Amino acid sequence: MSAIIFAGPTIAAPDIRHLCDATVLPPAAMGDVFRAARLRPRAIGIIDGYFEGAPSVWHKEILWTMAEGIAVFGAASMGALRAAELASFGMRGIGDIFADYRAGRLEDDDEVAVEHGPAETGYITMSEPMVNIRATLARAVSEGIVSAAAADGLIGLAKGQFYKARSWQGLLRENAALAPAERDALARWLPANAIDLKRNDALKMVAAMAEFLAARHESAKGDFALEWTVMWDKATRSFIPHGAVASSNAESVSPDMVLDELRLEPEHYASVKRRAVARKLIDTGVTPDHASADPSALRREMSRFRARKGLLTHSSLLHWLDENGLDAAGFERLLEEELRLAGVGASDRRLDTYIIAELQLTGAYSALARRARHKQELVGDVRGHRLSVMQARLRYFEDVLGRPVPDDIAEYAEDAGFADASALDRAIMREIAYRRQMDQAAASGT
């Protein structure tokens, strides 16, 4: 593995992969960098990280990563903050935001914090970061759109707001001191001229990492002594069980690639997920909500269950119930329990780490990892293969799974653990291309 980059609201994963061969993971929280470092990449980049809702990425896990000889880059958001704090230890800060934190021109973490949606929305941003407001208003002043005094007033107003409430619309509406002519001019100018400084810095960091990876570097351990304390020992013990992947070997692959292999086997995925949810319940002490299920949710769950089992007619459902010693009421109770368990899984963005842990514990991880590595070597990028999405879906569902293509592909993708239908389609395209390559190799005797 060459590089791992933590990103979310600042820059999309495809934009990162366009510039750098990297595995892109969600915004970093405490323990994530430590777990990533155990995969032994040459470099780790931190763009986005959690400021609230989860403990923030820890300074010591970054120091430990650098002490292990892995280069750590930071920019744009949480990465810029940590890079400014750890630059003297060798963390590589990139971009204007890092430079401003390093020089003391910026101090508060609310300068880069934003309100954003979950992964399913592509981490859509719902507020404007303070650093972008500052950069945009500096440009507006230089271009004569607003006066310096008006810009200072807007900056003061924005700085006084809670970071989740900041928006250009709100600033223009609430600043009574801004002259109407200036307000109108700024409103017209903003859509085409606003500066996304965080994204710009993120792109610079990704480019710097690509340049670093293209050159040959000796593994350089940090020039400092890392003290192994009781607190650090306890922390790393808590990090490791949650889906940690053992140190690099000849077959190490991204956990995302392993999970995609599992997700392509829906029955296996469902079984492992159930055990992972149980593991999470034991680990966190969270208990499922025992409130009655919403009737519409229960109907959807029944439809999903029947589709998974191929119980497409009423008579086939009745036969299945009879074979399994169930009546209608008992079946409904089981579905309600499934919904509650699904709720427990959906509430934790790190359920995948419990799934990885379950695969490792049962010994299933290595086979999936080998297949993922072989597929990567054999298929690579599916964009060069002449195969339409619909052709791939038909091959996968009808030939591989032996079932019709689902009517609601987005719902199926969610049930199978994929981020969305596009992620499912990419995995299917790679799978069918891989099977074709394997068939051709078998036919030619290679």
How far, in Å, CA of 197 to CA of 123, rounded?
17
Cβ atoms of residues 347 and 283 within 8 Å: no
Give the mean pLDDT of the chain: 83
**What's the pLDDT at 218?**
62
User: DSSP readout, 160-220?
Assistant: TS-GGG--HHHHHHH-TTS-HHHHHHHHHHHHHH---HHHHHHHHHHHHHHHHHHS-----
**What's the pLDDT at 275?**
82
How far, in Å, CA of 340 to CA of 333, rounded?
11
Q: Minimum mean pLDDT among 252-256, 271-275, 311-315: which range? A: 252-256
Q: What is the pTM of this model?
A: 0.56
Higher per-residue pLDDT: 318 or 298: 318
The number of beta carbons lying within 10 Å of the beta carbon of residue 22 is: 24
Cβ partners under 8 Å of residue 303, min gap 6: none
Q: How distant is the alpha carbon of residue 383 from its chain centre? A: 22
Cβ partners under 8 Å of residue 343, min gap 6: 288, 289
Higher per-residue pLDDT: 329 or 343: 329
The number of beta carbons lying within 10 Å of the beta carbon of residue 199 is: 17
Higher per-residue pLDDT: 406 or 354: 406
How far, in Å, CA of 255 to CA of 243, rounded?
9
**What's the pLDDT at 238?**
66
| pLDDT at 35 > cutoff 90 | no
Encode pLDDT of 52-77 as tens digits: 777 888 889 999 999 888 999 999 99
Higher per-residue pLDDT: 357 or 159: 159
How far, in Å, CA of 182 to CA of 296, rounded?
51
| pLDDT at 249 > cutoff 90 | no
If 0-12 CB within 10 Å is exposed, 13-18 middle and 19+ buried, where does residue 416 land? Answer: buried
- Which tokens belong to 204? 């610079």
**What's the pLDDT at 352?**
80
The number of beta carbons lying within 10 Å of the beta carbon of residue 80 is: 32
- Which tokens belong to 246? 């053992």
Encode pLDDT of 192-208 as tens digits: 999 999 999 999 999 99
Cβ partners under 8 Å of residue 113, min gap 6: 51, 77, 129, 163
